Amino acid sequence: MERFGVLLSAKMYDVMKEVFGESASDLIYRLLERQLSLTWEEAGEKIDAFHAYLKRLVGSEVSQIILATSLKGLCRELQREYEEVEKHFSLLDELYEVKFQLLASFQKEERPVSN
């Protein structure tokens, strides 16, 4: 799994595109890179710097909405991914249970009955 910061950066980029459109979002990220030497990929790792810059650019309320929406969206994606992994582990557990039952019944059949 990718690092949390990378996943958050990607989600923030998606939210920014939804809110401002692709060209305006790209402009914001270019300004961010020029003024703070911070790429969009690093925004999730340096969330405080990104949020402070975004707040100066679009205001506190909008920047808070973008951050909160990004975090909620990322949480939903991670929850779905976790549930998918959990399904696979449940299937593996069931397969191992069947395997052990078959082995146990096979071993019972092979044991000679002693008198």
Domain segments of the chain: what residues?
4-109
List pLDDT tens digits, range 25-57.
999 999 999 999 998 888 989 999 999 999 999
Nearest to 7 by CA among 80, 71, 85: 71
Nearest to 53 by CA among 72, 70, 22, 30: 30
pLDDT for the residue numbered 114:
59
Tell me if 40 sits within 8 A of 9, measured CB to CB. Answer: yes
What class does CATH assign to 4-109? mainly alpha
Name the stretches of the chain with pLDDT < 70: 1-2, 111-115
pLDDT for the residue numbered 1:
44
* Distance of alpha carbon 68 from the chain centroid: 15
